[in-house]
Chains A and B, each alone.
Chain A
């Protein structure tokens, strides 16, 4: 279980460019559930998601993982935690240019003490399911936005992480792919994985276990399914 307590993030504090991206955010994410963060652009969803994923250090407040306050844990500990537990899907897709789709999926696995080629079959399965098998050898800049998003999805899932953090995962994909994404999230939950999604998509909200609505950096509403 992941909990946040009064989580606050202020960019450029004490300067004229100070931005309060999140303020006193309190949310709870149970294991094996789908949690949605919704809200208009600039409401702080991505910031909160990044803090939960331990890729952004909060200005104040606490993040508890299974009751343990990990907020000020070392950079090294956080990296290992992410390596073993978290899969990210970014709003801006964030694929590495100059590499093929398959390479983009395998590069994150280089930090494991394993031969990355062992994951190739698993990646191909996911590519097949997302219907871009024929594009695995293409450089990512040759792919459409939707295809890139699907590559990012494969990249996040290929390691079978316990927690999936997805930021607007359906924003660039077509109807059918979006449907597949929903299905996959559902299956992941059924397998006991924790899925946290920041989205506007009402269809995703339907399958969620808990929905937090954010406005101007704070949580304004919490809904249980």
Chain B
């Protein structure tokens, strides 16, 4: 039995050579479409996975203060109230915000160093210098992201002046630079002791930007969140909601682009179908003749399946390799911009790329299946016709 299938395999290859134009059109069209599609898909997956990663270890609940639907400062008294709720292990104040404008926006985070109870071994957090210690409070010590350090041309030990929103000069000393490994989170980050941040943003005593809450694993987070929601003006964001937000952002954008490319891919499949029809007359004759010699309908379909599989797998694999190379080595160019929308990643950044097995399989599926359909269906229609009639129609 195997020899027969080997014969069909060789014949399918001969057909690919024989119908060079069709082979070429299909290969080029599918390779381009798949390279674009895979590039977007891998980026989207990368951003989503990065989001999942980042959220996985984030505080369980974030509480901010709303008034008239706008986010305002949270009274510190909320922290004490939250601490009393069943299931809350720790409620920590947070002061953070943005500074600068346009492309030079950076994130300032005030850290309550006394609230960090876990021994984290901060040595892996910074690539140069050291991380903040409680004694840094009021000294103007900061730890900054590697990218920001590059942009501002500062190093450990340097002093820098940052203008606040109130257009007041604040002097800071760089004591550490975040490690490259953490760049995706820390690129634009400036971390300072919480009181320094309060001073920088001119946040009055008794108020914080928001608070973060770590819950008891034994108590469902939603229960704690529901309890917190009873506090007036509190907006409660669980980790799950944050992740949904991320996914809505990247998944939505990615989905939009993927939909666009899937439509394009369908158009490509139609081109293939029409190509199959163009060569249809010759193919119809060939099928009729082969059937005359004793090829069964299944034999004919097997040959066309082999052709389509080779073409589909070739173009899908090549397209994916191009997509990966484009994402990783060429930083995804236009697609990264489309995915990020108004947001931008500094040029020094590599977009996170996730080449997942499910995505790879789905890309093979969206290439090979339409191609199988586009080429096999005409062959099948010919193959179920009387061979003599098929040849006669082809000759007509």
- Could you list which residues of chain A lie within 8 angstroms of chain B, going by C-beta atoms? 50, 53, 55-57, 75-76, 79-84, 86, 88, 92, 94, 96-99, 103, 107-116
Inter-chain contact B296/A79, CB cutoff 8 Å: yes
| Chain B residues near A115 (CB-CB < 8 A) | 3
Inter-chain contact B294/A75, CB cutoff 8 Å: no
Inter-chain contact A111/B387, CB cutoff 8 Å: no
| Chain A residues near B14 (CB-CB < 8 A) | 99, 103
Query: Does B210 belong to the interface (CB within 8 Å)?
Result: no
| Chain B residues near A116 (CB-CB < 8 A) | 7
Query: Does B336 belong to the interface (CB within 8 Å)?
Result: no
Contacts A83-B294, A110-B11 hold; do A94 and B3 have CB atoms under 8 A apart?
no
Inter-chain contact B4/A92, CB cutoff 8 Å: no
- Pick out which of these stretches binds chain A: B121-129, B252-260, B285-293: B285-293
Inter-chain contact A83/B386, CB cutoff 8 Å: no
Contacts A107-B11, A114-B3, A115-B3 hold; do A84 and B388 have CB atoms under 8 A apart?
no
Q: Tell me how many residue pairs across A and B have CB atoms closer than 8 Å.
A: 79
A147–B296 Cα distance when bound, in Å, is 29
Inter-chain contact A94/B299, CB cutoff 8 Å: no
Inter-chain contact A111/B286, CB cutoff 8 Å: no
Inter-chain contact A111/B388, CB cutoff 8 Å: no
Looking at chain B's contact residues, is the secondary structure mostly helix, strand, loop, or mixed? helix
Inter-chain contact A55/B386, CB cutoff 8 Å: yes
Inter-chain contact B386/A79, CB cutoff 8 Å: no
Query: Does B8 belong to the interface (CB within 8 Å)?
Result: yes
Query: Does B70 belong to the interface (CB within 8 Å)?
Result: no
Inter-chain contact A75/B3, CB cutoff 8 Å: no
Inter-chain contact B294/A82, CB cutoff 8 Å: yes
Task: Please name 9 pairs of A and B residues whose Cβ atoms are closer than 8 Å in the assembled complex, sorted by A.
Answer: A55-B292, A56-B386, A80-B296, A81-B294, A82-B291, A83-B294, A97-B282, A107-B290, A111-B296
Query: Does B183 belong to the interface (CB within 8 Å)?
Result: no
Inter-chain contact A75/B384, CB cutoff 8 Å: yes
A86–B294 Cα distance when bound, in Å, is 9
| Chain B residues near A113 (CB-CB < 8 A) | 1-4
Inter-chain contact A111/B386, CB cutoff 8 Å: no
A82–B42 Cα distance when bound, in Å, is 52
| Chain B residues near A111 (CB-CB < 8 A) | 4, 7, 290, 293-296, 299
Closest CB-CB distance, A15 to chain B, in whole Å? 15
Inter-chain contact B296/A55, CB cutoff 8 Å: no
Contacts A113-B3, A115-B3 hold; do A108 and B297 have CB atoms under 8 A apart?
no
Closest CB-CB distance, A112 to chain B, in whole Å? 7
Q: Which 8 A-B pairs rank lowest in CB-CB distance, beginning with the nearest?
A: A83-B294, A108-B293, A110-B7, A56-B388, A55-B387, A50-B388, A79-B296, A113-B4
What mask results when residues 294 to 323 of chain B are scored 1 for a CB within 8 Å of chain A, else 0?
Answer: 111111000000000000000000000000
The residue in chain A whose Cβ has the minimal distance to the Cβ of B296 is A79
Inter-chain contact B395/A82, CB cutoff 8 Å: no
| Chain B residues near A92 (CB-CB < 8 A) | 395
Closest CB-CB distance, B390 to chain A, in whole Å? 9
A55–B292 Cα distance when bound, in Å, is 6
A113–B10 Cα distance when bound, in Å, is 14
B1-50 interface with A by 8 A CB criterion: 1-4, 7-8, 10-11, 14, 18
| Chain B residues near A79 (CB-CB < 8 A) | 291, 294-297, 299
Contacts A56-B386, A107-B11 hold; do A112 and B291 have CB atoms under 8 A apart?
no
Closest CB-CB distance, A95 to chain B, in whole Å? 9
